[in-house]
């Protein structure tokens, strides 16, 4: 049986760990060739190896998505390695919380740079490649659908206390999604968004464990207060947080041919949670 994404080339940011890794494995399992990205070489190579061991194809493009030269290098990897570009998933991200009166400019811009500016740059770099491919396909009488899936959050739709920076960036990606759906439809590209609720990853683990993530030379505290975590899970109609594999499933839905006429939409993947 033909796999749904056979031969497609997919760029996935932040795909060495967590949700991104699950997305990469899911799309690779359906035949997509993956360009894996992570801040660090080790998790990126581990994800590449996992895909290859499962019979898929993948290469790594290590680096920070906020670096000025990253977008061109990322898109260039897809073109040089696989001679194509079919799917872009803007997944990389983290949180750096504080109430607004204590939030620094550094915290504010860090979230906008990662969650909004980086996807903008990647999609800007991808546009000439996609335009050229769509033109040649049109001249040959073929229509090939391509997919962009941006990652937002319920915080971007409803706000969340202590996350003015993150919520603003995630709201912004929804607006960019809707705009590019209008701009890129003529190139046979659907542009959609997935807004996650509480998904269980290293970034949402127990804050009492004292975990940190090393980002841009900063040690950012990760995790959620266990009492707050329990309260959050009680508020979810399904009664629990989601898994990375379940989160990946929502992205997958927007990448397969069955969603070829769905564009400009935001799909909530939140276990039924419709507010915070």
- Is residue 207 scored above 60 in pLDDT? no
- Domains contained in the chain, number: 1
Domain of residue 248 covers 9-203+242-269
Confidence of residue 228 (pLDDT cuts 50, 70, 90): confident
Flag whether 63 is in a domain.
yes
Segment 164-197, tens digit of pLDDT: 999 999 999 999 999 999 999 999 999 999 999 9
Catalytic residue among 94, 109, 166, 261: 166
3-class secondary structure, 232: helix
- Is residue 224 scored above 80 in pLDDT? no
Find out whether 155 and 167 touch, Cβ atoms under 8 Å.
yes
Residue 223 pLDDT: 58
Residue 175 pLDDT: 98
Flag whether 214 is in a domain.
no
Segment 101-127, tens digit of pLDDT: 999 999 999 999 999 999 999 999 999
Flag whether 236 is in a domain.
no
Flag whether 2 is in a domain.
no
Flag whether 250 is in a domain.
yes
Flag whether 209 is in a domain.
no
Flag whether 151 is in a domain.
yes
Flag whether 230 is in a domain.
no
Mean pLDDT of all residues in the chain? 94
The CATH number for 249's domain is 3.40.50.720
Phi, psi of 89, deg, nearest 5: -120, 110
Which of 28-32, 90-94, 144-148, 229-233 shows the lowest per-residue confidence on average (mean pLDDT)? 229-233
Phi, psi of 120, deg, nearest 5: -60, -45
Catalytic site residue 252? Answer: no
């Amino acid at each position: 049986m033909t796999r749904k994404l056979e031969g497609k080339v997919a760029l996935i940011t932040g795909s060495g760990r967590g949700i991104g890794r699950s997305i990469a494995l899911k799309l690779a399992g359906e035949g997509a060739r993956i360009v894996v990205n992570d801040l660090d070489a080790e998790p990126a190579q581990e994800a590449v190896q996992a895909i290859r061991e499962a019979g898929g194809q993948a290469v790594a493009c290590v680096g920070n998505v906020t670096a000025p030269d990253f977008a061109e290098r990322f898109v260039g990897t897809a073109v040089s390695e696989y001679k194509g570009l079919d799917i872009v998933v803007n997944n990389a991200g983290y949180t750096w919380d504080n109430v607004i009166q204590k939030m620094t400019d550094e915290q504010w811009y860090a979230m906008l740079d990662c969650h909004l500016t980086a996807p903008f740059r990647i999609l800007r770099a991808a546009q000439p490649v996609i335009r050229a491919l769509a033109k040649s396909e049109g001249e040959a009488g073929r229509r090939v659908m391509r997919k962009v899936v941006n990652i937002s959050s319920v915080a971007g739709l409803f706000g969340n206390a202590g996350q003015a920076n993150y919520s603003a960036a995630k709201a912004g990606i929804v607006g960019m999604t809707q705009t590019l759906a209008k701009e890129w439809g003529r190139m046979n590209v659907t542009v959609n968004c997935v807004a996650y609720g509480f998904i269980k990853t290293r970034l949402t683990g127990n804050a009492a464990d004292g975990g940190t993530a090393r980002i841009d030379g900063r040690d950012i505290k990760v995790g959620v207060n266990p009492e707050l975590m329990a309260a959050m899970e009680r508020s979810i109609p399904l009664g629990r947080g989601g898994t990375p594999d379940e989160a990946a499933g929502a992205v997958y839905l927007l990448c397969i041919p069955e969603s070829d006429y769905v564009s400009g939409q935001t799909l909530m993947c939140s276990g039924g949670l419709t507010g915070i």
